[in-house]
Structures are given as C-alpha cells and as structure tokens.
C-alpha cells in the first residue's frame, strides 16, 4: 500500500545500516579478485594477527576465527558431544538458528524468560529450569546491551554447567571480550553488525584442551569458496547504497513508495546469512578474502572514538515520549546496536511513522522468541491422560512459556537511529515519534504492563 509520503518529509536514514565505508567493500572485492588470480594467500599470518587482537591480558582465552558465530557454536557442540536428550537453557531472545543448531545435535532447548531491566535471563527462573539433564546455559547480550553475567556464571558453576556467552550483537572493542569465566564467548561480524566484515566470527574458548580439539576439527573443514564471499560483497555494495547513502535513500524511499514496493523487507532478506542448508554451509572455514577484511576492520577500531556509536542513541533514548516503554535500564553498557523501542500498537505506530517519512520497521532483526519444545504425553502414557477423545496425542510444553520475551518481540519497532544520523534529522525523528505516539497511545496505553518479576 503506497503511503503517499512527501519527498521533502523523508528522513534519509534507515532502521538498518551497514557499519562500513564503500572503501571497505572495494577492499574486499579487490582481495577476492586477487585470490582468483593468484591463489597465494598466506592466510595463516592473517589468522594469527586476528587471534592476537582477541587475546589480551584481561581476556587470555585463545581465539578461534570462524566463518560465523554460528559455525563456532556448532563446532563447540560437536566437540562437547553431549548425550542426546541433554538440555541447554537459552535466554529467550535469540536468533532461530542458534536453537536450531542445538536441536541438530539432539539437544533439548529450554527457554528462560528475560528480565526487562537487563534483557538477560531471569535468575529465579533459571535455577528452576535446571535439571539433572541440563548441560549448558546460552545467554545473549542483545541489541548491544551488556548485562552483568556474573550471577549466571555463579549459578552455572554451582551446577557444573557450561556457559556460552553470545556477544554477536555487542562487540565494542578489546576491553570488553566477554567474561573470562565463560566457557565459550561468541562474536559475529555479519552485514548489520558493528564493524562488519560482511561475515566472519570469533570464538574465545576458556579451556585450552577444548580449544585444541575445536581447532583440529575446524582445520578439517573445507575453505568456503571465495566466489560465495565475492557474491555477498557485490550484494552488499548495492545494499550499502540503499541503506547508507542519504542522497540515494531519500529518492529511493520516495520511488519505492510510489511503486508500492516493500523495500525494507527485500533489503533485510538480502542480508540474511545462510538462507538454507544451514549446517552444511556452517561447516566451512572462512575464505582468505574474508579474513583479510576482518583484520582490516579490526585494525580500524579505535576505542577512543567508539563513544560516538552511542551518542545519537542516547540522545533519542533520553527523549522518548510517554507511551514508549523503556527496557534494559540495568544494563552495564549500551552500545545501541540497532534502535528498538516498545509501543503498545507497533504496526499502527510504524505505519504512521512511515507516512511521516521516518523509516520505522518491525522486522529489522532476526531476533525472535525461543519457544519451549512440546512433548506428547500420548506417546509416553498411552491412553491414560495423554490423548483427546478422538485419540489424538496432546502436546504439552516441557518448560514455561517466556511471556516477557514474547511481549517484547510483539511490541518492538526499530527506528532509524545510528551514529551517522545528523543532529537536525535526529530532532525530526524525536518530534515525529512524540507526535505519532501521542496520536495512538491512550492514557491506559502509557502505563507499562505488569510483566512480573
């Protein structure tokens, strides 16, 4: 449905952007073509240089450079070889692929609802979910918000559980590389991550023996064809123009509106990492061109200027209107990876913001609710209590449903706020949000729902 937005009203920034320059993309394209011509890469030195950056005095665990964070997670589970039916507790907001990978290893995924103040797992529920079958806890720092993981680790150590710390959305330099007590720490540098390399992941592994086994298995993987990375870079070059260049964004939004094209959905689909055949695609080593890109991006990181990544986000966050529910107030650090806000009627608010020229979106991230698995009592209890009158087995969840996580994902919209947005457009976004939320949120809506503790 065309919205009829005026060209002059369009804010030329998008709710998703690529954190790079076009020179970065050209560098990657050049490395791909160099490899196709010469195929003499010296990849070992590049890997060592990346590893040295991720191993510091404060974070001495060795680092494994992988095709993606998901590749590292799959590799870790392969080496752990947990017994089939073992349980892994997930904080209940994550990307679907992580739970899918665990299930491919015949593990049972148990979601733990999140605390709205931290977006980490609720500690009271976490302990209740631990059983004799529990082997690990996967916790994610989502939307660039770091929460204090110490209570989770203390609880896990008490029950001798592995802790997997998912920092895929939270990279902020070498001073914050996860908790040294976590058994596995994952970082991702996919297309919409901070300091994107358009792929690649790094895993820090606390136990040296485990690291050696993972590295040995990893070396047995084929190297992903450079053609795959080349095609991704070509695609990202086009996406960069649509998401990062205001002079193109503004007429582009106007044109796609007039042609009734859902440009946001199409662009987000183009950025998906592994569209199908996930496990087979994950089990590859990164091509040398990707490694070169990762090293280039990491060497460009400057902790002294990283503060700029949060300035614009904090500006809008401090000026959110009544009717927008805040979250993550107890986070120990907030880098504003994407800019999600919670509203009572997200589809209506997002649509009206779009009408005013503000690129609000609902599906900007792959994050979703990790739902409990179902078990059929009919399979294990015959006809006693497990079947309906018609003889059909009744399925029951094996753990409580994460209602807070569901509320969060049902009410989130993403705003075009990132470090590249100019001050005048920031003010227009703030004013537009106040006006739209005021239109659609009643006094009753403006009270935060009671989600429990």
Spatial CB neighbours of 45, under 8 Å, sequence gap ≥ 6: none
The pTM (predicted TM-score) of the whole model is 0.91
Residue 39's pLDDT is what? 67
Confirm if 355 and 161 have CB atoms less than 8 A apart: no
- Give pLDDT tens digits for 25-82: 999 999 999 887 776 668 999 999 999 999 999 999 999 999 999 999 999 999 999 9
DSSP secondary structure, 135-191, as one string: EEEEEE-GGGEE---HHHHHHHHHTT-EEEEE-TT----TT----TT-SEEEEE--T
Parent domain of 154: 22-224
> Facing residues of 87 across strands?
108, 134
Does residue 185 form part of some domain?
yes
Sign of CA dihedral 349, 354, 360, 365: positive
pLDDT below 70 — which residues of the chain?
1-3, 39-41, 272-275, 364, 377-393, 441-453
Residue 2's pLDDT is what? 57
Does residue 172 form part of some domain?
yes
Does residue 366 form part of some domain?
no
Residue 451's pLDDT is what? 47
Does residue 78 form part of some domain?
yes
CA dist 388 and 165 (Å) reads: 42
Question: What total of structural domains would you count in the chain?
Answer: 1
Does residue 208 form part of some domain?
yes
Does residue 265 form part of some domain?
no
Q: Is 343 left (phi over 0), alpha (psi -120 to 50) or beta?
A: beta
Does residue 174 form part of some domain?
yes
Looking up residue 48, the CATH number of its domain turns out to be 3.40.640.10
Does residue 239 form part of some domain?
no
Residue 18's pLDDT is what? 95
DSSP secondary structure, 312-358, as one string: HHHHHHTTPPTTEE---TT-SEE--SS-EEEESSHHHHHHHHHHTT-
């Amino acid at each position: 449905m065309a919205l009829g937005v005026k060209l002059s009203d369009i804010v030329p920034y998008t709710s998703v952007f690529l954190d790079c320059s076009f020179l970065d993309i050209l560098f990657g394209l050049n490395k791909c073509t160099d490899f196709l011509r010469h195929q003499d890469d010296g990849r070992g030195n590049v890997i060592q240089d990346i590893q040295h950056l991720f191993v510091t005095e404060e974070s001495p665990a060795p680092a494994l450079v992988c095709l993606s964070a998901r590749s590292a997670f799959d590799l870790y589970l392969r080496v752990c070889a947990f017994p089939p039916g073992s349980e892994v507790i997930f904080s209940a907001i994550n990307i679907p692929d992580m739970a899918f990978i665990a299930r491919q290893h015949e593990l049972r995924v148990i979601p733990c609802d999140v605390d709205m103040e931290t977006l980490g797992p609720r500690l009271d529920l976490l302990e209740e979910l631990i059983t004799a079958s529990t082997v690990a806890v996967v916790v994610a720092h989502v939307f660039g918000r770091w929460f204090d993981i110490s209570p989770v680790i203390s609880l896990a150590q008490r029950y001798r559980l592995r802790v997997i710390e998912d920092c895929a959305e939270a990279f902020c330099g070498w001073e914050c590389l996860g908790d040294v007590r976590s058994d596995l720490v994952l970082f991702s540098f996919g297309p919409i991550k901070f300091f994107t390399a358009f792929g690649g992941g790094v895993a820090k592994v606390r136990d040296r023996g485990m690291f050696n086994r993972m590295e040995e298995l990893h070396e047995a993987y084929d190297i992903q064809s450079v053609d795959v990375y080349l095609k991704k870079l070509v695609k990202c070059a086009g996406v960069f123009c649509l998401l990062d260049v205001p002079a193109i964004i503004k007429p582009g939004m106007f044109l796609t509106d007039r042609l009734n094209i859902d440009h946001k959905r199409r662009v987000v689909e183009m950025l998906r990492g592994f569209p199908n055949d996930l496990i087979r695609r994950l089990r590859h080593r990164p091509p040398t061109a990707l490694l070169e890109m990762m090293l280039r991006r990491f060497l460009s990181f400057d902790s002294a200027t990283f503060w700029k990544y949060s300035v614009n986000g904090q500006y809008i966050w401090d000026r959110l209107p009544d009717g927008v529910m805040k979250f993550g107030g107890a986070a120990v650090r907030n880098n504003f990876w994407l800019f999600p806000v919670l509203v009572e009627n997200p589809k209506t608010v997002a649509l009206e913001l779009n009408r005013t020229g503000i690129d609000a979106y609902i599906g900007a991230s792959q994050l979703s609710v990790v739902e409990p698995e179902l078990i059929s009592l009919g399979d294990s209890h015959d006809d006693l209590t497990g079947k309906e009158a018609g003889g059909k087995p009744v399925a029951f969840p094996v753990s409580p449903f994460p209602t807070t996580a569901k509320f969060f994902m049902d009410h989130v919209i993403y705003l075009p706020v990132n470090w590249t947005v100019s001050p005048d457009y920031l003010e227009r976004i703030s004013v537009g949000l106040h006006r739209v939320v005021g239109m659609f949120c009643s006094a009753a809506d403006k009270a935060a729902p009671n989600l429990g503790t």
